[in-house]
Amino acid sequence: MTTGTGSDWAGLPKPALHMESLSEARLRHARQLGAVGINVQGAAMGTCGTLEALEQPVTPDPTPELTAMRRTVEAQGLEVLAVQVPAQMTHGVLTGGERRDREIEHLCAVIRGAGKAGIPAVFYNLTPWRSLPVWWWGTPGVPERRPGDVRHGSGPGRYYRAVGRGGAVLLTHETRRVAEDEARSPAAILAPYGEMDAETLWARVRYLYERIVPVAEAVGVNVGTHPNDPPEPRYRGVEQILHTPAGLQRLIDLVPSRRSGLLLCIGTLHEMGTGPEDTMAALEAFLGQGKVYGTHFRNPRGTARNGYYQEDFLDEGDLDMLAVMRLLHRYGYSGGVDPDHAQGIEGDEGGREAWAWQLGYIRALVGAVRSETR
């Protein structure tokens, strides 16, 4: 397997990292680990990736700062595969807030700037509760942990627990505990935006898509979002609309365009179904339409529909990840393959060892698939 970028990886899935800091040291570290591409997130995009940008009446053309950012990444031998705005940047869109139209105008500006800067994809959040200003674990009054819970996860029923091999700490999700935690949480904490039914949310997303998809089409930039994670039918007061493959397909079809697709988390896709067969069929359906613009590459054990899952090591979950990589390659997918949800390894500070292990595993899978097709 070659170590370069560009033509060395043409037509291949690209080992990638999502990064919120682009210091020279961080980029060197990513390159040394074997990353080929970067999904640049939040403030690392420049001022257009900050919530402070929304406080201005209009968004200045972000092309210069996005171009400068791309050159910074490329100077370290890496490729910018996508940019991703903060989850809170669509709060008004998703909750019907007064900031809605300003958020849409800003996102349109980012998409136009990405097109001019040569960045192929822009991702954003369409899960209402993820748009809140404070994450669940930092919210006062959330239910207390129980014995065996190392720390809170991103919402009710989600806890980090030492259930992995050798006592590795993994993110777990248990539907029974979701119900228990939600029952123990005041409404002001659980769903401060109020109860939200599916059709209201679909109407809000349609309003967004009718405005951003034509812009994406005009400038040649792919746009998409991550599925609801966790993929529960109802979560934190919201009837979720992207918790099934059918919901993801409805999103793609909402405003038909070759530029409207998905940041597809393979782990979340698996958690939606009943087993690997469901996952592989859904993945192939989206790849066959050319609607996968980025991937989060993880391998859970269990599913939400079966009541429990844990975000396990890539070689410990339910899926055959070599078969997943073969499918990506068969359909000509050449976007990012990002490790996601680092496992808690003994003595590993900041998940650096976990990210390195996952990225090495991904590179090995790409190498195996490449050798099979030579």
Tell me: pLDDT of 2 over 70.
Answer: no
Quick check: helix, strand or coil at residue 366?
A: helix
In the chain, where are the structural domains located? 6-372
Whether the model clears a pTM of 0.95, i.e. scores above it, the answer is yes
Q: Are 30 and 19 within 8 A, CB to CB?
A: yes
Give dist(CA 285, CA 69) in Å, integer: 34
Domain covering 6-372: architecture: Alpha-Beta Barrel (3.20)
Give dist(CA 241, CA 236) in Å, integer: 13
Residue with tokens 């014995």: 147
- What pLDDT score was predicted for residue 221? 98
Give dist(CA 280, CA 71) in Å, integer: 37
Query: What is the C-alpha radius of gyration for the chain, rounded to an integer number of angstroms?
Result: 20
- What pLDDT score was predicted for residue 350? 87
Short-list 8, 13, 4, CA closest to 364: 13
Tell me: pLDDT of 306 over 80.
Answer: yes
Count CB neighbours of 349 within 10 A.
7
At residue 164, φ and ψ (nearest 5 deg) are: -85, 180
pLDDT digits (tens, 9 = 90+) for 312-371: 999 999 999 999 999 999 999 999 999 999 999 999 988 999 999 999 999 999 999 999
pLDDT digits (tens, 9 = 90+) for 203-220: 999 999 999 999 999 999
Q: Are 296 and 123 within 8 A, CB to CB?
A: no
- What pLDDT score was predicted for residue 8? 84
Amino acid at 355: W
pLDDT digits (tens, 9 = 90+) for 33-43: 999 999 999 99
325: enclosing H helix or E strand: helix 321-330
- DSSP label of 321: H
